[in-house]
Chain A
Amino acid sequence: MFIFATSKFKIMQQNLLIELLEDGSKVSLYSPRFDGEEFTEFEKFLLKYKDVYPKDVAQIVYRLDIIKRDGAEDRHFRYEGTKRDRVMALPSHLETASLRLFLLNIQSRVLILGNGGIKDTATYQEDNHLNRCVETLQKIDIQIKTMERQNIITVNGTKLLGPLSFVIEIEE
């Protein structure tokens, strides 16, 4: 007996480019931008929440400034994703809202800032939007790791060097 399960979601291949947002003395900030979109994932996060939760967003931005200046110490982040990936969240605790920004921490010298949102569920997996944010970063992480192993992508100082265009599959 064969059981066929058809997914209710459509799988699409999407091109993206990891763009440099800002240099830092100890850490640089990058973010993925999907083909055809004006803003990177992190810019979309800022635009969505900067007027709704201005203090929280300002705190995240200033925290990133501290990280760029002083280094990406572990205590700035909350471990998210799985043990196999480099997905983290910033910041771990906020006073005014449970605003969660997801990112990839590459060797504590490069942060690839993704998207995020309000976490009002026990786990991010229970929230469709947050889950997609994490899954997107996980898929990017897999490809970067493969290319790091082959020395096609390298981290030189705080620069991510190599081809930074990827194709990932996304469920619609």
Chain B
Amino acid sequence: MKTNKLLDEIRQTMTPEMKRQMELSVKIANRIYEILEEKGLSQKDLAHLLGKTETEVSRWLSGTHNMTMATIAKISAALDTDIVQVTTRQRR
């Protein structure tokens, strides 16, 4: 696959932390969209449930927003579905 030299140089500057944060933000946004689709809800409906503006919700779901635990919990509660799950060690 063809890649661009300048883009490759910029990629070298990205820390593993930056990449993980971006991937996590996008995965969380994707999961919220999945849940909305499953429940037949729109982004506007979610904004209404949260008592927020559509612009604010759009920012949260852009995949670039650094969502707080409080926001994740708020959205999970509004949708009555866990957005993220934490893996734990299996106990024997």
Contacts and interface: CB of A to CB of B under 8 A. Distances in A.
Contact of A59 (B4, B58, B64): B64
A11 B73 CA distance: 55
Interface in B1-59: 1-4, 6-7, 10-11, 13-14, 18-19, 22-23, 26, 29, 33, 58-59
Contact of B6 (A47, A54, A94): A47
Contact of A21 (B7, B14, B63): B7
A170 B29 CA distance: 39
Give the bracket for the number of chain A residues in contact with chain B.
20 to 34
B7 A92 contact: no
Contact of A75 (B4, B6, B29): B29
B1 A58 contact: no
A55 to B, nearest CB: 7
B60 to A, nearest CB: 9
Contact of B59 (A29, A59, A65, A92): A92
Contacts of B22: 59, 62-63, 66
A127 B63 CA distance: 27
A161 interface: no
**Listed residue (B7, B65, B66) with the most chain A CB atoms within 10 angstroms of its CB:** B7
Contacts of B59: 92-93
Contact of A76 (B18, B62, B66): B62
Interface in A47-82: 47, 50, 54-55, 57-59, 61-66, 70, 75-76
Interface of B: 1-4, 6-7, 10-11, 13-14, 18-19, 22-23, 26, 29, 33, 58-59, 61-66
7 contacts: A21-B7, A23-B2, A58-B14, A62-B11, A62-B14, A63-B64, A75-B29
**Interchain residue pairs A-B with the least CB separation, the first 3:** A23-B1, A21-B4, A93-B59
Given A58-B18, A92-B59, A93-B65, 9 more contacts: A22-B2, A23-B1, A24-B1, A43-B4, A58-B14, A61-B11, A66-B63, A75-B61, A94-B64
